[in-house]
Amino acid sequence: MKIILLSLFVTFFSSTMFGQSDQVIEQIEDAFDEYGSPFKKTQQGIYYINQALSKSTISDAQYDAISAESEISSAKSKAGYAEDEASDAESAAESIDCEYVADYAGDAEDYFYSAKRALSNALNELSSASYEDDPDSLINYMNNAKNYANEALSKLNKGVDELNRAMQSLKNCAGATVESGGRSISYDDFEEFIIDNGYRKDYLSSYTLDSDWLTEITAYEYDSKIYIIAKIKVKNSYTSKSYIFCDIPSRNWSNFKYGGYGENKTYGERFHDYIIKFVCNCEGEFKIWRYN
């Protein structure tokens, strides 16, 4: 398979510029780190909301509503941390002459704030539900809370997309500019290109994955898109082979890393659900990835 890339022309900046860029990168990375926790807590809150909606007694539903309220409250606090880090990234970016970096970081801050506000609305609904004795009213409160929580997940994902854009814009500004004039490169060269030029946003080791076939996952951000390089064990062998997966939606990456609400699937199962269809080399490899 051949993949078209744009040729790169590197423009170097002063050491001062690089020092300032490093500070912005650090702030953006901190915001990335803070994003995962509210996302997972919100998913867990939705899980308890669904549990409450499935219960046959008021007391059981109220108990799950209280559990959901605890998770959503924690998610709201942690979304505030992501908002603060994005704000710091915006402030740091304003000190360097890189177009759009501060704007993207500011947009991320706005999305994280919107997520926090949606979570606050969900909390209000859950607080009412936990004391509500009328079944119809309780169901209405829980459904409203679920809608607000799902809105928060959407805003969190949009926030991290803006962080990705900020990072790529910063990379283009401080490291290279891109001009048209495409050329074809091989799959192996493309993988090397992503490793060398992409922003490494996450890494999952074999210990974390705990899989008999999926041995290592590294996620990269390039040109506002997510790429995953996965090391997959060759069947009937002790060796692993590297594969690259292209243009992964941010929601798919989040669902793979953290799991959907209420699901207990393994990383291997989630890889099949959310990642595998985005493989860059499309022919003849899938048969080695699902073992009995």
Give pLDDT, residue 176: 36
Distance of alpha carbon 67 from alpha carbon 73, whole angstroms: 10
pLDDT at residue 99 above 80? Answer: no
pLDDT-derived band at 280 (thresholds 50, 70, 90) equals confident
- Which tokens is 27 given? 């702030």
Average pLDDT across the chain, whole number: 80
> What's the length of the chain?
292
Contact 218, 200 (CB under 8 A): yes
Residue 279 is classified by DSSP as: B
Q: What is the mean pLDDT of residues 64-73?
A: 94
- Kindly report which listed range (56-60, 154-158, 195-199, 284-288) carries the lowest average pLDDT score: 284-288
pLDDT in tens, 180-210: 233 444 567 778 888 888 888 899 988 889 8
Pairwise CA distance, residues 142 & 255, whole Å:
23
Mean pLDDT of the region 120-147: 94
CATH code reported for the domain at 11-175:
1.20.120
For residue 10, pLDDT over 60 is answered with no
**Angstrom distance (rounded) from CA 126 to CA 243:** 44
Q: Give this prediction's pTM.
A: 0.59
Distance, CA of 206 to CA of 194 (rounded, Å): 21
Q: What is the 3-state secondary structure (H, E, C) of 121-179?
A: HHHHHHHHHCCCCCHHHHHHHHHHHHHHHHHHHHHHHHHHHHHHHHHHHHHHHHCEEEC
Q: Which helix (H) or strand (E) holds 187?
A: helix 187-197
Least confident of 76-90, 129-143, 162-176, 179-193: 179-193
Q: Compute the average pLDDT of residues 30-56.
A: 89
Instruction: Place 134 in a pLDDT band, splitting at 50, 70 and 90.
Output: very high
For range 228-233, the mean pLDDT: 90
Domain boundaries defined on the chain? 11-175, 186-288
Q: Which residue did the predictor score with more confidence, 234 or 232? A: 232
CB 45 within 8 A of CB 149: yes
pLDDT at 187: 64
- 259-278, pLDDT tens digit by residue? 876 677 899 989 988 898 88
Q: Which residue has the tokens 């809608």?
A: 147
Residue 11 — very low, low, confident or very high, per pLDDT cuts 50/70/90?
Answer: very low
Residue 186: helix, strand or coil by DSSP?
coil
Asked whether residue 290 carries a pLDDT value surpassing 80, the answer given is: no
| Percent of the chain whose pLDDT exceeds 90 | 38
Gap between the terminal Cα atoms of the chain: 29
